[in-house]
Each structure stands twice: as C-alpha cells, then as structure tokens.
Amino acid sequence: MPRRTSLSRDEQNARRRAFYERIGKGELSIAEAMLAMRKMTGLTQAEFAQHRGVSRRVIQDIERDTGNPTVESLNSIAKLFGLQVGLVPIRRSEPVPPSQD
C-alpha cells in the first residue's frame, strides 16, 4: 500500500523556499530535484507519476539517476513547480579563461 507523507503548510512552504533557492544556485541534479519535488507534494512515486501523466518507471529511474527521460516528460513534471527544461551553465571550480579568437 502506498505511503503518503502529510506535511503542514509551513513545512511545505519551507521546503519550497529551500528548493527554489537551491535550484537558483544550480545545486540540484535532476535526480535530486525530482525527489525534492515529489517529497514536497507528499505523494508516492506512483501517485506523483499519475498526477504528472508519466509512468512510475520514469519517476523511479529519474530519482535513481539511471533514467534517460524525454524533455517532454521532464517539462510535464517540472511544470507543476513553474519550471521547464533549459540550457544552464555548468558550474566549474575554476573560471574558464576567455577565448582568444
């Protein structure tokens, strides 16, 4: 039987603030972001998948960081949180020198 985690409104808001802050800083991988989004909703993988119109296997594979989801699947999932797939800069430990073209 699926387990549902009930969060208070304050807990949900705190998780959302932390999530958007980490997303803004580029600190979350797709797997971490997926798990965080699902946990914020308090839904099981099966419930979250059904709600977002994707298979449970898609959610499972993304959370394990073993999946190769389509952009369409990722956008369907992220839309709930006002996000979409995009090109983002790769964070590097050292600055990349400008090209000498």
CATH number of the domain that residue 45 is part of: 1.10.260.40
Let me know if residue 5 belongs to a domain: no
- Binning pLDDT at 50, 70 and 90, where does residue 92 land? low
The residue range of the domain holding 42 is 30-85
Let me know if residue 22 belongs to a domain: no
First to last CA, the chain: 61
pTM: 0.73
d(CA 36, CA 63): 9
- Tell me how many domains the chain contains: 1
Let me know if residue 97 belongs to a domain: no
Q: 16-72, pLDDT tens digit by residue?
A: 999 999 988 888 888 999 999 998 888 999 999 999 999 999 999 999 999 888 999
Residue 53: CB partners within 8 Å, gap ≥ 6? 76
